[in-house]
Amino acid sequence: MNGNRVYNFNAGPAALPLEVLEEIKDSFLNYAGSGMSIIEISHRSKWFDDIINDAVARTKQLLKLDDKFKVLFIQGGASMQFCMIPMNFLRDGETADYVNTGTWSTKAIKEAQILGKTINVAASSEDRNFSYIPKEIRFNPDAVFAHITSNNTIKGTQFASFPETNGLPLIGDMSSDIMSRPFDVDKFGLIYAGAQKNIGPAGVCMVIIREDMLKKIPDELPSMLKYTTYADKNSMYNTPPCFAVYTIQLVLKWLQETIGGLDKMDAINRKQAKTLYDAFDSSDFYQGTAEPDSRSLMNVTFRLPDEDLERRFIEEAAENGFGGLKGHRSVGGCRASIYNATTMAAVEALADFMKSFEQKNG
Ligand SMILES: *Cc1c(COP(=O)(O)O)cnc(C)c1O
């Protein structure tokens, strides 16, 4: 425990920086002298305009995006992107390449197929229970785009670098690692990320889209399901999720001003992940489930010798102030999600707890 707050290892919604929560608390009843709460002001007000524009500007600064990229905020979570992407970019007779690296990629493929689109699985790690990231992926040059999940939240694997697409626009589901490290955005035609893992609360998905992609979108789609609607109206065609966007703005400000940008964030994230992976590598008691060269810096997945010990581990951890260590219900085991807001103190406390649990039970 850390005061009255647990060490939060939830997978999403997940930990947010304490400084951000305190700032929200301070301005909750009277936002910026408006005499109204942030959840009471109009999305057509100058106050909200400044918030959304600042969130966009900070996203562009942090990711070094030039003017050919637009930053949008869309409701419906990352899961709605699974259908919007094929609706907007795949016409009859066209195909797209998807890399299947786990539960979320599988869902993305399924949603495109529900729409009757032709999907080619360019590579998959299903043969070893999604425990690794496929290497040397060859994309079909006739595909319209290539889709990857940069970090596999449930299986605990992550692309260390992004595959060469030879000019195909890459589309990335970065829900669980956006803003965790710098990367080269130039290959990407579209990036999307449900906010509730690394950049804010639930209720909004950040979408970064390149101009040439916007030009391919047919007119005859429902307004709420086409990216052009959001791009033309600065994400305010209808009422946006104001509170979620406000929180994102504060998290991005924290990333820039308190952490010092994505290079610094990356160094911290690597150090934290190494602390936990070193704990497995020096023990026969804990077994990592991801192959070492594919390990995620965000979601550390592991097993204990049997399920009974896993249950006790999670229980005793909870009694000692560690929250969220149960693996996803579809895979079992344990998972520590160590997103940007997780502190080194929390990670070190967990590594110590793991050691003492092993001493008692190993
Ligand atoms: C959580 C998650 C999703 C689903 O996000 P929702 O916002 O709940 O729809 C999709 N992809 C990845 C990689 C995720 O981690």
Ligand 1 atom closest to Cα of residue 202: 7
- The pTM of the full predicted model, rounded to 2 decimals, is 0.97
* Domains 7-20+261-361 and 30-258 agree in fold: no
Q: Is the dihedral of CA 196, 250, 224, 191 positive or negative?
A: negative
Catalytic residue (one of 70, 104, 155, 254): 104
CATH fold of 7-20+261-361 reads: Aspartate Aminotransferase, domain 1 (3.90.1150)
Per DSSP, the three-state class of 106 is helix
Strand 69-74 relative to strand 205-210, pairing: antiparallel
Domain boundaries, the chain: 7-20+261-361, 30-258
Position 236 scores a pLDDT of 98
Q: Are 177 and 164 in contact (CB under 8 A)?
A: no
Beta carbon of 194 within 6 Å of any ligand 1 atom:
yes
To the query of whether residue 47 is one of the catalytic residues in this protein, the response is no
CATH architecture of 30-258: 3-Layer(aba) Sandwich (3.40)
User: Residues with Cβ < 8 Å from 115, sequence gap 6 or more?
Assistant: 83, 86, 87
In a mutational test of the pocket of ligand 1, which residue from 104, 148, 155 has the highest number of ligand atoms less than 8 Å from its CB?
104
Which tokens in the block code for residue 57? 């500007």
| pLDDT per residue as tens digits for the range 149-195 | 999 999 999 999 999 999 999 999 999 999 999 999 999 999 999 99
Beta carbon of 332 within 6 Å of any ligand 1 atom:
no
Beta carbon of 298 within 6 Å of any ligand 1 atom:
no
Ligand 1 atom closest to Cα of residue 80: 9
| pLDDT per residue as tens digits for the range 21-67 | 999 999 999 999 999 999 999 999 999 999 999 999 999 999 999 99
Beta carbon of 12 within 6 Å of any ligand 1 atom:
yes
Position 2 scores a pLDDT of 64
Q: Is 196 annotated as a binding residue?
A: yes
Rounded Cα distance, 214 and 232, in Å: 10
Helices and strands: H and E segment counts in the chain: 10, 14
**What distance in angstroms lies between residue 147's CA and the mean position of ligand 1's atoms?**
15
Q: Are 30 and 36 in contact (CB under 8 A)?
A: yes
